[in-house]
Structure 1
Amino acid sequence: MDIVPLLLARIQFTTSLSFLALFMALAFALAWLLLFFKLCTHGPRRAGWTAAYRFWVRFFALSFVLALASGLPVLIQLGSLWPGLMDKIGNIAGPLVGFGVLSVFILKSCFLGVMLFGQRRVSDGVHTFAVFMVAVGQAATLFWVLSLQSWVQTPAGATLIDARYRVYDWNAVIFNPSLGWNLGLMALWSALAAAFLMLGVTALHALRRPLDDGERCTFKTALVVAVVASALQIPVLAGASRVMAEHQPAKAAAAAGYWHSGAEPSWTLFGWPDHRAEKNRFAWTLDQAGGEWLGRDTHGQYLGLDTYSGMRPPVALTFWLLRAVLLLGGLMLLMSWATLILTARRGLDPSHLPRWWLRLMVGMVYTGGLAVLAGGVFSLVGMQPYAVNGTITQTEVLGTTGTAALALGLVGYSVLYIVLIAAFNSMLFHAVRYGVVPVRKPGGGAQ
């Protein structure tokens, strides 16, 4: 078949799903951080925590709207780019997508309006409860989306009958082997995306003027979140890699650059995978360090890429995406822990940090978001050529849309996403420069 339509469909769907993942991650993490800010307003330093809440709630609202809007192209593309997929997995995808949509609907119709617009009309306790329910709703939506995304990677609880999946165990479908690790990674990367966004914005404030109480509260919270989340990446990535090795050995071999089955399982730190020569050029390796992350056959032999001739994922792209994830994670780990050490004796006050360090933090403002994108693309690319791991290929479910239409759609969606991200960035730095307008209750003071 013509490979161009398949390639364009892959790029278009990956772009849309990555955009959705980025803003779902931000909305999820910001919802829980806002709940923390809101709870802290009931204690000492109320004014500072209230200012932190009021500044960041607008970015939660924008992230929520962008995530909701970007979900529509993904649903449309499931039907237009891969029309045969829903016919084969509709018994599974339908209920899971339905639960996700229901979570969004309940969240939007019942609690989001109170959270964003009802603070002056309800009691503080009711408003805090609304913020809590919004955070729960965000977690529920993310759970159902990741349940489906994890199931196509590690299908369980269903079997193919007459070219359609039939469910025999819903618990196994929902809580499939990779769900827990994927939830853990997404939660950590979401936390890091929000935390480094907050750290970078606060550092930019500190470069321009003395910080107020709200900005100091934001910095302390974000730093603690970044320190904990960056450290937890290590065991969670290790666990996810073991599941990948067991259930997606081709992806594991591509990620490791492991070409020949049975060979010494060295871990390639860097190199250039050459699929023609089936070796890694300019490779830096750690001898006997890669076996834990590779799949094995029934005889215990390590499975290399030569086992999957014709059914390999894009080796070089998979290889480098994993290293991008590890590099970004390592940078965030070093930055967060070094900042903790530098500010520990100063009450975690960023005002005492050198200006060059603050500039470095501003430069890393989107590092967590990039980790979300790199991890999401790695997950999608590493599963190719399958739409459902090990059973249904993307070629089987590809639609009949022509090359020109696919190219035009890709350009259109890409331009739209660039504009939306630019708008988010513009609003962020506008708020950094001008702050927020005080909100007053009728007959009361500023909130």
Structure 2
Amino acid sequence: MEALDTLLLSRIQFAANISFHILFPTITIALGWVLFFFRVRFSQTSDEKWMAAYRFWVKIFALSFAMGVVSGITMSFQFGTNWPGFMETVGNIAGPLLAYEVLTAFFLEAVFIGIMLFGFNRVPGWLHMLATGLVAFGTTMSAFWIIVLNSWMHTPQGFEMIDGVAHATSWWEIIFNPSMPYRFAHMMLASFLTVAFLVAGVSALRRLMGDNSRSVKTMLKVGLCMGAVLIPAQIFMGDMHGLNTKEYQPAKVAAMEGNWETRGNVPLVLFAMPNEETRSNDFEIGIPGLASLILTHHWDGEVQGLNDFVAEDGTILHPPVAPVFWSFRVMVGTGMAMLVLSWAAVFVMWRRRAMHEVSPTSHWLASEGLPKWMLFALVPMAFSGWVATLAGWYTTEIGRQPWLVQGVMTTEMAVAEVPAPMVAGTLAGYLIAYALLLFAYISVIIYLSRKAARGDDAPANDMIHSGKAQVDIMTPAE
């Protein structure tokens, strides 16, 4: 019983650590590229609104980057303290992949992030822009190698087992394993959507605080347009990822859909209470045949059910159904809310702009305005990307249980033999620390927004007024 408690507590602790850590790379991966876009636009136009946007958001990037690095160190410790069996079994593959991340991402970020953060008026403009681009590239490479390792754990190939230890036979197959392209694209789009709604939500907050600067209006447009364009792409990529998962991890898909029996004409379950004791759904509400259509592209297409993943001795070989079922619906529901709100806001901006051109004297038809209720709706959506990312992550990671590496080792095989109270104590400490850090992080963002709205922030054109700035700014003429 103690071993079971240790396993459960270790899983909860890992979930807590990864949940906290993933929040910040999800922001920095895309925000680095958004900052690069702001920097390029300033270089092209010399319009100060782009540098004002850069200066505001680079502070949030720095804060997020620091939080991600610190929480990432905690993540790495767990492989030795909680899950020694993982590295003992697959360390020959996991170790090099993590080392590649250090070589291609951490060194790049470490070299250039100082220039990016503090080089506004200390280095030539082209070098500052290059540093921003290289830091953005570094965050993407970091995500790439982590996704490679995570994808390999879901769809392992390119290795052989010798005396219970995995040895690589093809690094090409390991890196470009079957689920990696879909998982990487899905994560990158999730990051950009997270940043899109963060930018839009914080900009809406600043507008409600009375900030009517050109910069904040531009950031609001950029965030909403990013969201409106990328959410359909994410829906398409999610469908492709789902088809790949159906091929390689059908038990996960069965749990996501709440489908117990292998059959055709599987309904898309909108609401249900999965019951693992009766192996059925209580209070089910669904659309007949729609799940089959989505997963097989045929109304009567056959989809495997959860009952196919029960061994003859009664051992359950599928994930816990309710957490996967509900986390998947939270992810999809949040995505639908993103779609509706971003498209509605973009339509309102376009409509008001068109009507303003016809009747420019109408004050309430200000071309860049949004109704106040829509601004209020955007503020809580600032962190909707976090909700969707966490829900998607839970779907993916809980959905591969009981496997840690699909078909190779179970989660129970990797856990450390430590007393359950010790794990419970460290878990409590982590939860308290993470709650405080998350509160502080959000408070700093609100503080920075209030400061910028009051006009207390450093002026965007201080580079121009600096004695060095005349040779620092990269203009279109260059």
- The normalised TM-score by structure 1 is 0.95
Q: Distance in 2 between matches of 1:337 and 1:306?
A: 41
Report 1:414-433 matches (<5 A).
414-433=431-450
Deviation at 1:291, TM superposition (A): 2.7
- Which residue of structure 1 lines up, in the alignment, with residue 405 of structure 2? 388
Deviation at 1:43, TM superposition (A): 2.6
Aligned-partner Cα distance in 1 for 2:149–2:88: 15
Deviations 1:221-250 (A, max 9, x none): 111111111111111010010111111111
Q: By how many angstroms is 1:292 displaced? A: 5.5
Q: Structure 1 residues 128 and 142, CA, compared in 2 at 3 Å: closer, same or farther?
A: same
Counterpart secondary structure, 2:412: helix
Shift of 1:437: 2.4
Matched, 1:26 2:32: no
Query: 2-side partners of 1:363 and 1:77: how far apart?
Result: 33
Tell me if structure 1 keeps the 8 A contact 2:292–2:302.
no
Give yes or no for the alignment of 1:370 onto 2:387: yes
Say whether 1:361 aligns with 2:378: yes
Letter in 2 for 1:46: D
1:82 shift after superposition: 1.0
Equivalence for 1:437? 458
Q: Say if 1:294 and 1:235 are closer, same or farther in 2 by CA, change over 3 A.
A: closer
Q: Which amino acid aligns with 1:154?
A: T
Runs of 4+ in 1 over 6 A off after TM superposition: none
Aligned to 2:333: 327
CA distance in 2, matches of 1:201, 1:350: 20
Contact 2:52 2:459 in 1 (8 A): no
Shift of 1:108: 3.2
**Structure 2 vs 1, CA of residues 11 and 406 (structure 1 numbering), >3 Å: closer, same or farther?**
same
Aligned pairs for 1:192-207 (under 5 A) are 192-207=193-208
* 1:145 aligned counterpart, secondary structure: helix
Pairwise CA distance, 1:347: 4.8
Does the CA contact (< 8 Å) of 1:206 and 1:350 recur in 2? Answer: no
Q: Summarize the alignment of residues 243-282 of structure 1 with structure 2, pairs less than 5 Å apart.
A: 243-262=244-263, 264-282=265-283
Partner AA of 1:97 in structure 2: L
RMSD between aligned residues: 2.0
How far 1:380 moved relative to its partner? Answer: 1.0
Give, as a single letter, the amino acid of the residue that structure 1 aligns with 2:323: L
Alpha-carbon contact 1:206-1:351 (below 8 Å) kept: no
Over 3 Å counting, the alpha-carbon distance change for 1:347 and 1:405 in structure 2 is: farther
Out of 342, 345, 348, the position equivalent to 2:348 is 342
Alignment check: 8 A CA contact 2:265 2:302 kept: no
SS at match of 2:290: coil
SS where residue 365 of structure 1 aligns?
helix
Which is higher, the Rg of structure 1 or of structure 2?
A: 2
Q: What is the Cα deviation at residue 208 of structure 1?
A: 2.3
Percent identity, please.
35
1:26-65 pair list within 5 angstroms? 26-44=27-45, 46-65=47-66
Deviations 1:71-106 (A, max 9, x none): 111111111111111011111101110111223431
The offset of 1:401, in angstroms, is 1.5
Give the C-alpha shift of residue 254 in structure 1. 0.6
Q: TM-score, normalised by structure 2?
A: 0.89
Confirm whether residue 81 of structure 1 aligns to residue 87 of structure 2: no
CA–CA separation in structure 1 for the residues paired with 2:293 and 2:68? 36
Matched AA of 2:197:
F
Answering whether residue 319 of structure 2 is matched by residue 313 of structure 1, we say: yes
Partner of 1:209, secondary structure, is coil
Shift of residue 351, structure 1, vs aligned partner: 5.1
Q: Which residue of 2 aligns with 1:403?
A: 420
Relative to structure 1, the CA distance from residue 4 to residue 350 in structure 2 (aligned partners, 3 Å threshold; closer, same or farther) is farther
Structure 1 residues 350, 400: CA separation in 2 closer, same or farther (over 3 Å shift)? farther
Partner of 1:120: 121
1:139 matches 2:140: yes
Give the deviation of 1:445 after TM superposition: 7.3
Which residue identity does 1:437 align to in structure 2? Answer: A
Tell me the secondary structure at the aligned position of residue 318 of structure 2.
Answer: coil
Tell me which residue corresponds to 2:359: none
Following superposition, the deviation at residue 352 of structure 1 comes to 2.2
Shift of 1:301: 5.9
Residue 44 of structure 1: CA displacement? 2.9
Identify if the C-alpha distance between structure 1 residues 56 and 76 changes in structure 2 by more than 3 Å, giving closer, same or farther: same
Structure 1 position 45, deviation (Å): 5.8
What secondary structure, in the 3-state scheme, does the structure 1 residue paired with 2:43 have? Answer: coil
In structure 2, give the amino acid aligned to 1:424.
Y
User: How far apart, CA to CA, are the structure 2 residues paired with 1:335 and 1:351?
Assistant: 16
Bigger CA drift: 171-180 or 160-169? 160-169
Moved more, 185-194 or 282-291: 282-291
How far apart are 1:112 and its partner, in Å? 0.7
Q: Is 1:107 aligned to residue 113 of structure 2?
A: no
Give 1:196 deviation, angstroms. Answer: 0.8
Aligned residue for 1:269, secondary structure, equals strand
Q: Distance in 2 between matches of 1:190 and 1:267?
A: 27
Q: Name stretches of at least 5 consecutive residues in structure 2 with no aligned partner.
A: 311-315, 355-365, 474-478
Alignment of 1:210-289 (within 5 A): 210-262=211-263, 264-289=265-290
Q: Which amino acid aligns with 1:129?
A: L
Report the Cα offset of residue 303 of structure 1.
Answer: 2.1
Would you say the 8 A contact 1:252–1:293 is kept in 2?
no
Alignment check: 8 A CA contact 1:252 1:294 kept: no
- Amino acid paired to 2:390: L
* Distance (whole Å) between structure 1 residues aligned to residue 73 and residue 60 of structure 2: 20
Counterpart of 2:459, as a letter, is P
CA deviation profile, 1:235-292 (whole Å, cap 9, x unmatched): 1010010111111111111111111223642221211100001111111112122235
- State the distance in 2 between where 1:332 and 1:109 align: 34
Mapped partners of 2:449, 2:194: distance in 1: 18
Partner amino acid for 1:241?
G
Q: Which region of structure 1 is more displaced relative to structure 2, 347-356 or 255-264? A: 347-356
Determine if contact 1:244/1:251 at 8 Å carries over to the other structure.
yes
Instruction: Tell me the CA shift for residue 21 of structure 1.
Output: 1.6
Partner letter of residue 112 of structure 2? F
Residue aligned with 1:387, SS: strand
Matched positions, count: 443
